[in-house]
Amino acid sequence: MSLPYEGDVNLPYLLGHISCLTMGATYSVGEVNHLYTFFVQWSPDLCGMDAKSFMVLNKCRLGVMEALFSNPGHKKWEIITVHEGKWEQKVYNSEGEESDGPEDLLPELTDQSELLDEFHLQELASHLPARTKGYPWRLVYSTVVHGTSLKTMYRNLAHLDRPVLLVIKDMDNQVFGAFASHPFKVSDCCYGTGETFLYSFSPNLKVVFHWTGENTYFVRGHWDSLQLGAGGGHFGLWLDSDLYRGSSFQCNTFHNQPLSSKQDFTIQDLEVWTFQSHDG
């Protein structure tokens, strides 16, 4: 096993991009949190004592990791640089062959999109949180397939427990939307986390608006409207019950610019995607 190391910057890389295989055991991204913390204690000269993020280790878990490193006969690992390992570039195509072409970095779509092209996919994928990586994108609602109804969208998303990606094309052919940490639903109050963001594309420019931390008005669903972002008297993105009209204004949640070229826009098509297989 090889673990990438680039001094103090290794923490976000390690936590966000790898799962660790040691002696036949598979560790999830969450498990790597604990593994990295042990590295800091075990070899501070390599892993960096300047790191500001530490976690309290469960004694049982710490004992298991100490056993892995205390027996020289079982050390099947080494620490190498990211450049030596080329971890950023190493991906595999559907046939299991290693490749680093741009087309292989695109997410897999289990359904056809009427709105997203390769440029949109590549740019959006680069901003999605780590917990969505590796999952196929599955279409759960489309105005082309399911008609124009907010109630139908809520019904199609009712069984989900994963994040969703909202994609809108307006009558000016501009593509924009939102990533939501939780599926859209009718709610008495706002819900979601700081993973939620708004985005907008123009022919040559991509803009992503992340959470500012000023409030937590991420998403709120009503039977007659869907709201994303608020504050300052406006919504970052608002859609009506027929998914025909919408509006977008600057709001405190995201400090976004209006996502469409017009603050009040008419929807041409709309899609909602989630990140799991059909049997997930």
| Residue 182 CB contacts under 8 Å (≥ 6 apart), including other chains | 163, 164, 191, 192, 193, 219
> Residue 32 has what DSSP assignment?
H
Coil/strand/helix, residue 256: coil
Judge whether 1 and 43 are in contact, CB under 8 Å: no
Residue 259 has pLDDT above 90, yes or no: yes
Concatenated DSSP letters of 112-145: --SS--HHHHHHHHTTS-GGGTTPPEEEEEEHHH
Tokens of 30: 């969450």
Q: Give the helix ranges, DSSP H, for 48-110.
A: 59-70, 82-85
Question: What is the pLDDT confidence band of residue 203, given thresholds at 50, 70 and 90?
Answer: low
Tokens of 122: 């590549």
> Residue 218 has what DSSP assignment?
-
pLDDT exceeding 90 applies to what percent of the chain? 57
- 123-182, pLDDT tens digit by residue? 999 999 999 998 999 999 999 999 999 999 999 999 999 999 999 999 999 999 999 999
- 10-39, pLDDT tens digit by residue? 444 344 443 334 434 444 444 544 454 444
Separation of alpha carbons 97 and 91, rounded Å: 8
Q: What pLDDT was estimated at residue 65?
A: 52
Question: What type of residue is 171?
Answer: M
Least confident of 98-102, 223-227, 234-238, 257-261: 98-102
Separation of alpha carbons 200 and 208, rounded Å: 7
Q: What average pLDDT does the chain have?
A: 76
Residue 254 has pLDDT above 50, yes or no: yes
- 174-193, pLDDT tens digit by residue? 999 999 999 999 999 999 99
Q: What pLDDT was estimated at residue 279?
A: 58
